[in-house]
Copies of this chain bind each other. A is one copy, B any other.
Amino acid sequence: MAEYHEMVHHIDRIMRRIDGSMHRRMPEVDVDRIGPLGCIILTVLSRIEPAPIQRLVDQLCRDGSQMTRAIKKLEASGLIEKHRDEHDGRITVLTLTAKGRVFVAEVLDIMEGIVADLLLPLSPTERKQFADLLAKL
């Protein structure tokens, strides 16, 4: 009855449209060649910092080894800093640098515009609904 499987296609398509828009608008901003993964790591980090790497792995549903490489690149570009946790020597805590904060602000601005364009077919009420439903999932 439900035909839930169509939603996989819809979500994939939306993600592709977002990626495509990002890809078009980022080159002007992404001087350090961070890429889409780096951008999403930075923007999420900006909301939860200071945060251990493991927390980002959970939040982003990415592999640990992948996160290691991406974070190494972000650190090399001077966008984030690593700090060893005082109480637990296994944990590496991440924070944004001043340069990182400036970059995140630019990326968030671009994302805001992209999502606004994406939501054009919806009424204001529906946009609110959609945002709330996404947050519940």
Contacts and interface: CB of A to CB of B under 8 A. Distances in A.
A33 to B, nearest CB: 20
A61 B114 CA distance: 16
Contacts of A5: 43, 108, 111-112, 115
A112 B13 contact: no
Given A11-B11, A122-B136, A130-B133, A115 B16 contact: no
Given A8-B114, A40-B9, A114-B8, A134 B2 contact: no
A10 B134 contact: yes
Nearest to A107: B5
Given A118-B137, A121-B137, A122-B137, A111 B18 contact: no
A4 B131 CA distance: 8
Given A5-B112, A8-B43, 11 more contacts: A5-B43, A5-B111, A7-B131, A7-B134, A9-B59, A10-B137, A12-B40, A16-B60, A20-B61, A121-B136, A126-B136
18 contacts: A2-B116, A3-B112, A4-B112, A5-B115, A6-B47, A6-B135, A8-B111, A9-B59, A10-B134, A14-B137, A16-B62, A17-B61, A121-B137, A122-B136, A122-B137, A129-B129, A130-B130, A133-B133
